Amino acid sequence: MKIIVLLKRVPDTEAKILINQDGNGIREDGVKFIINTYDEYGIEEGLRLKEKVGGDSKVTAVCAGPEESTEVIRTALAMGVDDAVHICDPALAKPSPFTIAEVLAKAISEEGFDIIFCGKQGIDDDMAQTQSILAEKLDIPQVNNATVFELADDLSKAVLNRRIEGGDEKVEASLPVIISCEKGLNDPRYASLPGIMKAKKKEIRVKNLADLGFNEAPSSGRSRVLKWLPMPKGGECKMVEAEETVDAVKELARLLREEAKVV
Amino acid sequence: MNIQLTDEERMIQKTIRDFARKDLAAVADEANREGTFQDEIYASLAELGFMGITVPEKYGGVDFGTFSLVLTLEEISRVCASTAVAVSVHNSLANHIVLKYGSEEMKEKYLPRMASGEAIGVYALTEPDAGSDVSAIRMSAVKRGDEYILNGSKIFISTGDKAGVIIVIARTDPESKTKGMSAFLVEPDHPGFSVGKVEHKMGLKASSTVELVFEDCRVPAANLIGEEGMGMQIALGSLDGGRIGIASQALGIAQTALDEAVLFGRERKQFGKRLVDFQATRWKIADMATNIDAARLLTYRAARMRDEGLPCTKEASMAKLFTTRIANTAVYDSLQIHGGVGYTEEFKIERFFRDARVTEIYEGTSEIQRLVISKQVLKEYEQMYPA
Ligand SMILES: Cc1cc2nc3c(=O)[nH]c(=O)nc-3n(C[C@H](O)[C@H](O)[C@H](O)COP(=O)(O)OP(=O)(O)OC[C@H]3O[C@@H](n4cnc5c(N)ncnc54)[C@H](O)[C@@H]3O)c2cc1C
Ligand SMILES: Cc1cc2nc3c(=O)[nH]c(=O)nc-3n(C[C@H](O)[C@H](O)[C@H](O)COP(=O)(O)OP(=O)(O)OC[C@H]3O[C@@H](n4cnc5c(N)ncnc54)[C@H](O)[C@@H]3O)c2cc1C
């Protein structure tokens, strides 16, 4: 079985995000980058599936990103992924989900696939679009926000739970399928030291746009990012204090009426 | 000297950092309160490869070197200094001694079990009358047939009650003080071995410290490490790595002291201001941060030198002396910034304050480090400006 896991290099969840001077990205100096957390669930599920199916099953990671993505790709290899494709081209700086889905679709088709796992969204720009556009491009079913994944014994279909508001929805999908993973699907393994050691010898196939048969970066679709703005500052918090609670409530009501003018 | 981390080292650091913050942090408070050794934590660390960091692949290790061990101990100690004790002794002393001085047969027999974490390695040198003065050890080892008979006791042995492999320094020749010592590899089921008194310590509560008793303890002659008379050389030769290990432990403690001080000081208000807005607090933060950076540079330098095979006795001692000192000032200042709550078990700093203290005592007291450093410095001057 040929299993593809997608991974994206994103700023660490703990990183302090500052907008760059041009307002078209973030300041990367001093920021640590990691594998998109949701992609880690995908990697783990891919590895578990390989362990379960056995035989000549193989997990291949596909990552589109700058040169520096090598470190997160190696981390995936250290977790147990067999090999990787790194799509890297200067023309892909700050790509839209359309552009990325187009190049991913090409690379993944070249690799061949039975099942694709990815995160439910990038924790950086939170667009959650790539997987759906990719499903369209590849013309395969997609199941988003998976919290449970099982493969039928005859490997013909996947049975999944997907997280929806207030509960889970149980669905079935035929293969090949793309599955975007939600927190709770599994507990991703750490990259062990023996894994890190073995990752050194695993293959990363680096491909640029020309290698994938593109003359230029594919169209970015119908939306365009105009500008990045910093988080708006929250207003000052005012504590209402009084000896008796009822006086505090009266004062609060007065403030809401007279100052905030919301009641 | 390049102290930048390689991609690989960053990956190792991330794995151990994530593990420490998630798995270890989940049990650390209770383990230290109850004084329990975390078997599952060591099992997980072993599974991830951390019990054979410097052991070559052919003996079941991952062959990553001292620098990776430093990063590992630093991250573990940021969460639980007790856990770092066994990881440090096991890797930098026990594994190292078997690897460097053991016969091929001994390496093949023991290293795979040690690197896989099946056998935790401990190091037994200290005796009631031999602490700083290693040459005063009295424990005897007498050869009889194809066995050595060991008699005596070792005290203050970290993790001695959980050991699978015990490196013991004993006296094979009562006539010669320093040349009469030899090193042995003892297994806990060798007849005549038992665990004695358990110490009740000020800190490092989740790391056991015990007496080991040897009563006509019979050890196969093949378990002599190196040759008879090499005991002192082995005991002292392994100390560089051990000291870099304790420097890393102290570094992790110091880092947490600073982290906790700043996070607490940003929240706590007195006199209408946050504590971090008082100059008195700021100066403490500046001193802590500067000291920690300097300590990290010293420790990383010593580790890089050791990995490059350069002599680093002075540098290892400097790293240990300085880092363990600044760790103690850092926990002191951090607790001070916490005020009254810092003196209670509710806040992490109380545990780190207690744990920091011993780093200036074991693996050679600070006085002994000064002895080592000054001896090396004087030797350098002797060479540059012969008297
Ligand atoms: C928690 C803990 C864990 C330990 N784990 C281990 C272990 O796993 N294995 C092991 O073998 N040992 C272990 N030890 C023992 C430790 O290594 C010794 O405590 C240490 O070497 C100091 O020896 P001592 O306690 O006998 O002090 P002493 O040597 O009696 O020293 C007492 C004081 O005198 C000073 N002093 C001694 N000689 C001189 C000198 N020449 N010049 C100036 N000052 C001097 C010392 O610096 C110290 O301040 C452990 C100790 C502790 C507390
Ligand atoms: C064991 C124990 C017993 C106690 N018993 C009693 C008791 O019987 N009765 C009682 O009333 N209280 C008692 N206390 C409380 C004790 O008096 C307070 O802890 C102490 O006054 C410090 O206050 P705090 O803990 O709120 O620290 P904080 O006032 O929050 O101070 C935290 C840190 O900020 C520093 N800081 C604060 N303001 C400034 C400033 N303006 N400039 C520079 N630095 C500043 C402090 O010096 C300290 O380092 C006890 C505390 C303990 C730990």
pTM of the model: 0.91
The pLDDT tens digits for A66-119 are 999 999 999 999 999 999 999 999 999 888 899 999 999 999 999 999 999 999
- The predicted structure's pLDDT at residue A21: 87
Q: Which of A72, A158, A163 is nearest to A116 (CA)?
A: A158
Determine which helix (DSSP H) or strand (DSSP E) holds A146, and give its type and residue range.
strand A142-151
Question: Average pLDDT for residues B237-245, to the nearest whole number?
Answer: 93
Residue B305 pLDDT > 90: yes
| Contact (CB, 8 A) for A86 and A211 | no
On the question of pLDDT at B385 being above 90, the answer is: yes
Asked whether the predicted pLDDT for residue B381 surpasses 90, the reply is yes
Place of tokens 């998976």: A146
Strands A157-164, A167-174: pairing is: antiparallel
**C-alpha–C-alpha distance, residues A142 and A135, integer Å:** 6
Provide the pLDDT for residue B216.
98
pLDDT at B308 > cutoff 90: yes
Is the per-residue pLDDT at B1 higher than 80?
A: no
Amino acid A23: pLDDT: 86
Q: Is domain B233-384 given the CATH code 3.90.1150.10 in the classification?
A: no
Question: Using CA atoms, how far apart are residues B202 and B353, in angstroms rounded to an integer?
Answer: 10
- How far does the centroid of ligand 1 lie from the alpha carbon of residue A253, in Å? 67
Report pLDDT for A221: 80
Domain B7-120 is of which CATH architecture?
Orthogonal Bundle (1.10)
A14 confidence band (pLDDT: 50, 70, 90): confident
What mean pLDDT value characterizes chain A? 93
- Whether B354 lines ligand 1, by a CB cut-off of 6 Å, is no
pLDDT confidence of A197, banded at 50, 70, 90? very high
Q: First-to-last CA distance in chain A?
A: 62
Closest CA to B6 of B248, B290, B253, B300: B300
Q: Which residue among B15, B47, B64 places its CB closest to the CB of A191?
A: B15
Using the predicted structure, report yes or no on whether residue A18 has a pLDDT greater than 80.
Answer: yes
Mean pLDDT of A175-202: 96
**CB neighbours of residue B133 within 10 Å:** 10
- What local confidence, expressed as pLDDT, does residue B2 receive? 79
Confidence of residue B205 (pLDDT cuts 50, 70, 90): very high
pLDDT band with cut points at 50, 70 and 90 for residue A235: confident
- Full DSSP string of B235-258: HHHTHHHHHHHHHHHHHHHHHHHH
Mutation test of the interface with chain B: which of A72, A193, A196, A200, choosing the one with the most B Cβ atoms within 10 A?
A193
Question: At B231, is the pLDDT very low, low, confident or very high (cuts 50, 70, 90)?
Answer: very high
- For residues A97 and A130, give the distance between their C-alpha atoms in angstroms, rounded to a whole number: 5
Answer for the pair B52, B114: CB distance below 8 angstroms, yes or no: yes
Give yes or no for a contact between A85 and A63, defined as CB atoms under 8 angstroms apart: yes
Ligand whose nearest atom lies closest to the CA of B340: 2
Residue B51's alpha-carbon distances to A177, A188, B12, B217, in angstroms, are 40, 22, 13, 27
DSSP letters of B292-353? HHHHHHHHHHHHHHHHTT---HHHHHHHHHHHHHHHHHHHHHHHHHHGGGGGSTTSHHHHHH
The predicted pLDDT at position A156 comes to 87
Name the residue among B7, B18, B53 with its Cβ closest to that of A193.
B53
For ligand 2, the distance from its centroid to the CA atom of residue B341, given in whole angstroms, is 8
- Residue whose CA is at the smallest distance from ligand 1 atom 30: B131
Residue B236 in this model has a pLDDT that exceeds 90: no
B90 CA distance to ligand 1 centroid (A)?
A: 19
What are the pLDDT digits (tens) for B156-200? 999 999 999 999 999 999 999 889 999 999 999 999 999 999 999
For chain B, domain boundaries = 7-120, 122-229, 233-384
HSE-up of B324 (CA within 13 Å, CB side)?
27
Residue among B205, B209, B361 to mutate when testing ligand 1 (max atoms within 8 A of CB)? B361
Q: Exposed/middle/buried for A239, CB within 10 Å: 0-12, 13-18, 19+?
A: exposed
Q: What is the pLDDT of residues B37-84, one digit of tens each?
A: 889 999 999 999 999 999 999 999 999 999 999 999 999 999 999 999
- pLDDT score recorded for residue B92: 96
- The tens digit of pLDDT for each residue in A119-140 reads 999 998 888 999 999 999 999 9
A78 closest CB neighbour out of B11, B52, B68: B11
For the cut 80, the answer to whether the pLDDT of residue A236 exceeds it is no
Domains and CATH numbers, chain A: 2-207 (3.40.50.620), 233-263 (no CATH)
Distance of CA B42 to the CA centre of its chain: 15
The amino acid at residue B165 is V
* pLDDT tens digits for range B119-144: 999 999 999 999 999 999 999 999 99
Contact A40, A184 (CB under 8 A): no
CA-based nearest residue to B159, from B110, B213, B113, B195: B195
What's the CATH architecture for B122-229? Beta Barrel (2.40)
Which of chain A's residues have a Cβ under 8 Å away from the Cβ of B43?
Answer: none
Residue A61 has pLDDT above 90, yes or no: yes
State the pLDDT at residue B233: 94
Take atom 20 of ligand 2 and give the residue whose Cα is closest.
B340
Q: Is the beta carbon of B204 within 6 A of some atom in ligand 1?
A: yes
Which atom of ligand 2 is nearest the CA belonging to B344?
Answer: 53
Atom of ligand 2 nearest to the CA of B336: 49
